[in-house]
Every structure is written in structure tokens, then in C-alpha cells.
Amino acid sequence: MSLIWMLMFLFVSGPPPWEKSKLVEGRDFYRENCAVCHDIDIDKMHSRKLGPSLNHLFKNEKLPLSHGKPSRQYVVVRVKFGGALMPAFGKKLSDTQINTLIDYIESR
């Protein structure tokens, strides 16, 4: 009976273990590929990095540079193909890895 209670506690107390590991994986992709140029814990007014802050990216009304409404599709294209100063990561990261990275950014 105690095993059942432990399993219920795990599922009630937070995200399922497999979901948390995906966010950890996304965080690792962010740290390896994005953190050099983009903040994620500091708002755009206080960021001192070259690229715009990704803090609350999908909760903002406008994207930092394009001023369009944030969308997952736009971010996927930017990550894959880059931008004016941003390098392309389409050859370095798979589609699955890019989506995991964006899931992490979206969770922030």
C-alpha cells in the first residue's frame, strides 16, 4: 500500500518525472547554445548580453526585435536558420532538440 501512496504523491506534487527530465534537457541545450548571447532569468531592460533576453518570451506581447506576436513557429525558424547576428543551429540541433529547447524557454 505504501508504494501506491508514494506514486500518488509523485504525480500530485509536480510534473511527471519524464516531463521534468525534458525540461532539464532543454535547459542543458539552452546553456550549451543560447546562454552566451541570451539571458533567460533577467528582463530585457537589465540584460547586458548581445542578443535579446528570452525572459518570459512567450508571455510578452511582442518579440524583442521583430516586434511581432511571439509564436513557436517563428522561434523555430530563428533557431534553425539564424538571423542578422544570430547563428543558425539547424545543422547542430535536431528538430526534436530544438523543440525541447523551445519547451524550456516557454516554461520560463
Q: CB–CB of 76/98 below 8 Å?
A: yes
For 15-107, CATH number? 1.10.760.10
Percent of the chain with pLDDT over 70: 81
Domain residue spans of the chain? 15-107
HEC string for 58-71: HHCCCCCCCCCCCC
pLDDT-derived band at 102 (thresholds 50, 70, 90) equals very high
What residues have CB less than 8 Å from 26, skipping those under 6 apart?
A: 100, 101, 102, 103, 104, 105, 107
pLDDT-derived band at 20 (thresholds 50, 70, 90) equals low
Stated pTM of the model:
0.77
CA separation for the pair 43, 23 (Å, rounded): 21
pLDDT tens for 55-92 read 999 998 887 777 888 899 999 999 999 988 999 999 99
Q: CB–CB of 9/86 below 8 Å?
A: no
